[in-house]
Chain A
Amino acid sequence: MMERTGLCAECAELLVPYIDGELPPEEAAAVAAHLAVCPACSRAADEHRRAWALLADLPGAPAVDSLWPRVAARSRRIAARARVLRRVAAAAAALAAAFTLFYFVSGRDNSAALPDPDLLVHLPVVEQYASLDEAGGEWLGEDLDLVQAVFELTQEIEDF
């Protein structure tokens, strides 16, 4: 059992960062000086080194084919959707302006001619996503469902 003098206790806390080369120079020098005269701490340091070395055998992921084809396909999809989104946002904004003007001028209800009200309801979302994408924002995972829904709305615009 190692002895724990004050110096050794202090040293024990510093050994790991010491062998990791992460101590400031003065502290590192102090530890080195102590190790030179203290076999117990010196052994402990050695054991840390061996423990770290052992870890190298921790298995990594089994080798598989490159992720690139899948990542490439998904990133192309993201880019395509982003382009569509920007188009939808522009078209929807133009539509909204047109209808505001229409109501203003005619003053009558002509709802039969209106596009799916969903589109107008979603307009802020579309704009938000489009601008998020402009900024290189992250909307992956569950966001993609929403983007998909918005994507489908483009069909409505085109039908209209």
Chain B
Amino acid sequence: MKPEAERGRELMLRLARGDMRAFEEIVVSYERAVRNFAFRYLGDERKAEDVAQETFLRVYTARSRWRPDAKFHTWLFTIASRLCLNAIRSQRRERRVMRPAAVGGDGSDELAGAPARRTASPPDGVLAAERAELLRRAVAALSENQRRALLLHRFEGLSYREVAEAMGLTLEAVRSLLVRARRNLHDRLAPLLRADEPAAEGEEP
């Protein structure tokens, strides 16, 4: 943890001094994580790539303003997460203009609002693809804030406090988002958890 944070900090300081090698190292080291995050959030490969590119360009243009006391990793995902939010919003605007009632045919990005079809509970040996699809739908069905908090915490390793910082929320709000995310995932993950007991923790607040 420590060396990782130290490394991001050091690279950023070098970039601030105009060292493009440091910038290259930043992009190469973090692009995978940023693209994964954007892809899991947006469900669209091309948009995820745009977000990732734009994220690094913002790192570049903000190079001289970056404060060394900010944790680089958290800051990077703060940018990525805002850009994802923008992408979602413009996607929604486009959709409203282009096909008012329709929902994406590929199902790749019908997000929170659209209840994913309830997948018939698969038998024990769930194929990897089905499993991935179940997970994708489960996560896509979360509210945007829940999804963002979940991805930042579970996949990017941000602590609750760092998620709060990245999302501009209080620690308490993040905690509640994750509790609700877990609750909302319950039904959709049930086939995978092969829950043999009805979960008592379940109903919506």
Closest to B132 in A: A59
Whether the Cβ atoms of A140 and B135 lie closer than 8 Å is no
CB contacts (< 8 Å) of B131 on chain A: these are: 57
Over the window 94-129 of chain B, the binary record of Cβ atoms lying under 8 Å from chain A Cβ atoms (1 yes, 0 no) is 000000000000000000000000000000000010
Closest to A70 in B: B53
Whether the Cβ atoms of B39 and A138 lie closer than 8 Å is no
How far apart sit A13 and B182, CA to CA, in the bound complex (Å)? 11
B20 contacts chain A at the CB level, 8 A cutoff: yes
Whether the Cβ atoms of A71 and B53 lie closer than 8 Å is yes
A20 contacts chain B at the CB level, 8 A cutoff: yes
Whether the Cβ atoms of B199 and A47 lie closer than 8 Å is yes
Contact of B132 among A1, A43, A58, A135 (CB under 8 A): A58
Q: Which one of B2-10, B68-76, B185-193 is at the A interface?
A: B185-193
A145 contacts chain B at the CB level, 8 A cutoff: no
A52-B154, A57-B132, A58-B132 known; A67-B197 Cβ under 8 A: no
CB contacts (< 8 Å) of B128 on chain A: these are: 57
In whole Å, how far is B179's beta carbon from the nearest beta carbon of chain A?
5
Whether the Cβ atoms of B35 and A60 lie closer than 8 Å is yes
A40 contacts chain B at the CB level, 8 A cutoff: yes
Q: Which one of A72-80, A95-103, A120-128, A148-156 is at the B interface?
A: A72-80
Contact of B54 among A12, A51, A60, A141 (CB under 8 A): A141
Closest to A76 in B: B20
CB contacts (< 8 Å) of A133 on chain B: these are: 61
Most chain A CB within a 10 A radius of its CB, from B45, B193, B200, B201: B201
B36 contacts chain A at the CB level, 8 A cutoff: yes
B63 contacts chain A at the CB level, 8 A cutoff: yes
Contact of A75 among B57, B178, B200 (CB under 8 A): B57
Whether the Cβ atoms of A60 and B40 lie closer than 8 Å is yes
Q: Number of A interface residues, CB 8 Å?
A: 44
In whole Å, how far is B150's beta carbon from the nearest beta carbon of chain A?
8
A30 contacts chain B at the CB level, 8 A cutoff: no
Closest to B135 in A: A58
B153 contacts chain A at the CB level, 8 A cutoff: yes
CB contacts (< 8 Å) of B48 on chain A: these are: 61
In whole Å, how far is B77's beta carbon from the nearest beta carbon of chain A?
14
B14 contacts chain A at the CB level, 8 A cutoff: no
Whether the Cβ atoms of A22 and B193 lie closer than 8 Å is no
B62 contacts chain A at the CB level, 8 A cutoff: yes
In whole Å, how far is A82's beta carbon from the nearest beta carbon of chain B?
9
Whether the Cβ atoms of B153 and A71 lie closer than 8 Å is no
In whole Å, how far is A43's beta carbon from the nearest beta carbon of chain B?
7
**4 further contact pairs, Cβ within 8 A, besides A22-B159, A55-B154, A60-B32:** A59-B135, A67-B52, A72-B24, A74-B53
Q: Residues of B with Cβ closer than 8 Å to A?
A: 20, 23-24, 27-28, 31-32, 35-36, 38-40, 45, 48-49, 52-54, 56-58, 60-65, 128, 131-132, 135-136, 139, 150, 153-155, 159-160, 175, 178-179, 182, 185-186, 189, 192-193, 195, 197-201
Q: List 21 A-B contacts (CB under 8 A).
A: A16-B178, A17-B175, A20-B153, A22-B160, A44-B199, A51-B189, A55-B155, A55-B185, A58-B155, A61-B32, A61-B35, A61-B40, A64-B49, A67-B31, A67-B56, A70-B53, A71-B57, A74-B57, A75-B60, A138-B62, A139-B61
